[in-house]
Chains A and B, each alone.
Chain A
Amino acid sequence: DIQMTQSPSTLSASVGDRVTITCRASQSISSWLAWYQQKPGKAPKPLIYKASSLESGVPSRFSGSGSGTEFTLTISSLQPDDFATYYCQQYNDYPVTFGGGTKVEIK
């Protein structure tokens, strides 16, 4: 199975900060990576697919980059609605696997 490792596991930031989350795959997954946002008690919401494509309706302050084994999710200017947990997911191969999550907290 392809292992997905996210860092950091927790991130404390303030409104307006630029935030970067990293996701590393244990082997190359080309660009077959998605990012999700999850809030407590809710289902994950897709933000980014194919590493850098923004899902419809997602604010442009979210962006994704990377290919192969190294990927990043960047929030250019953190907003109050962005405090949540973020997961990466590879879909290059089965089983589909997720990173362990990054919780973005208020500083």
Chain B
Amino acid sequence: QVQLVQSGAEVKKPGASVKVSCKASGYSFTGYYMHWVRQAPGQGLEWMGRINPNSGGTNYAQKFQGRVTMTRDTSISTAYMELSRLRSDDTAVYYCAREANWGSSWFDPWGQGTLVTVSS
């Protein structure tokens, strides 16, 4: 079945970087955009950006431009999201989510989420 499995929880200090991985299985990895969405504790969902696993092309939300980098390794069907210059308000659960259909940006499935805690 189609599945996204993310890396484990991280604790980082302010100013550091974090890199979260998302391993895909059950479908052609290069056939669907992969998106990243985050959710701060008790808050709503916030879209961060997307990557085309085929070309490596990316689109980032303006809020994260300059701090986020999305990459992929097609040999192991894995997408990555790296966020730099971490602040306390970056504490959140980070989800990868596959575009349900090419060109139709609703998301199915989602990864299980990775909690990133930023604390001194």
Contacts and interface: CB of A to CB of B under 8 A. Distances in A.
B112 interface: yes
A87 B44 contact: yes
B101 to A, nearest CB: 9
A89 B45 CA distance: 9
What is the size category of the interface that chain B forms with chain A? 20 to 34
Interface stretch (B7-15, B71-79, B103-111): B103-111
B47 A98 contact: yes
Contacts, number: 48
A95 B113 contact: no
- The binding surface of chain B is classed by DSSP as strand
B110 A96 contact: no
A7 to B, nearest CB: 14
A16 interface: no
A99 B35 CA distance: 17
Contact of A34 (B47, B59, B106, B110): B106
B100 interface: yes
B112 A89 contact: no
A101 B40 CA distance: 13
A43 B106 contact: no
B16 interface: no
Contact of B113 (A43, A97, A100): A43
A36 to B, nearest CB: 8
Given A46-B100, A49-B100, A96-B35, A91 B44 contact: no
Interface of B: 35, 44-47, 59, 61-62, 95, 97, 100, 104-113
29 contacts: A34-B106, A43-B97, A43-B110, A43-B111, A43-B112, A44-B95, A44-B110, A45-B110, A46-B106, A46-B107, A46-B108, A50-B104, A55-B108, A87-B45, A89-B107, A91-B105, A94-B59, A94-B105, A95-B47, A95-B62, A96-B35, A96-B47, A96-B105, A98-B45, A98-B46, A99-B44, A100-B44, A101-B44, A101-B45
